[in-house]
Amino acid sequence: MRRDERGGVTATSLYGLAIIVRVATIAYAAMRLPEQIATHFGASGRPDGWGTRAGYVAVDIAISALVVLGIPMLTAALVSGSGKGLNIPHKDYWLRPENRDRFRSRMMADMFVISAATGGLLSWVDVELVRANAMSEPSLGADTWIATGLFIAATLGYSIWMATGRYAVPAEARGR
């Protein structure tokens, strides 16, 4: 894995790993799920929707392509333009010619992180769905709700950090 200037794993490496894990868990689900499966579960963890393995895998691939691949692609298209349609903190600062490259780099890295996290959640769902459907009476446990809650909290926290810190005007540039 590539490292950034501080020694941490780069956002693109994390994103690449998430795609590999995503492909692996889709394949795992395709091989391990029975033909008829519980596809949706209520708050109690009991199934309330049923479908076929092929249908689930097709939707799983479509959602993964749309979200995990689509978010970075859409972001790349949006940040490569004029930026006039973007709603970002301190837009006037970040869209100045001297700051644009840093803005684009940060925004792409942030969307890679968010897409990787989303891919991780989708992979978790695949593994949990296989586990649930292997039971004589399919059900999801509390760990699924905990993982979903952690994903929501982490994504919300990351978004707040982006809005309040990541895209704040640097101290040395304030007042200019």
Is 108 exposed, middle or buried, given 0-12, 13-18 or 19+ CB atoms closer than 10 A?
A: middle
Look up residue 50 and give its amino acid. Answer: W
**Mapping DSSP to helix (H, G, I), strand (E, B) and coil, where does residue 35 land?**
coil
Region of 2 on the Ramachandran plot (φ > 0 left; ψ -120 to 50 alpha; else beta): beta
Q: Is residue 2 part of a domain?
A: no
Q: How many domains does the chain have?
A: 1
| pLDDT tens digits for range 66-97 | 999 999 999 999 888 888 788 888 988 999 99
Model confidence band, residue 62 (pLDDT cutoffs 50, 70, 90): very high
Q: Is residue 128 part of a domain?
A: yes
Residue 38, domain extent? 11-173
pTM for the model: 0.87
Q: Is residue 4 part of a domain?
A: no
pLDDT of residue 176: 58
Adjacent-strand bridge partners of 37 = 51
Q: Is residue 79 part of a domain?
A: yes
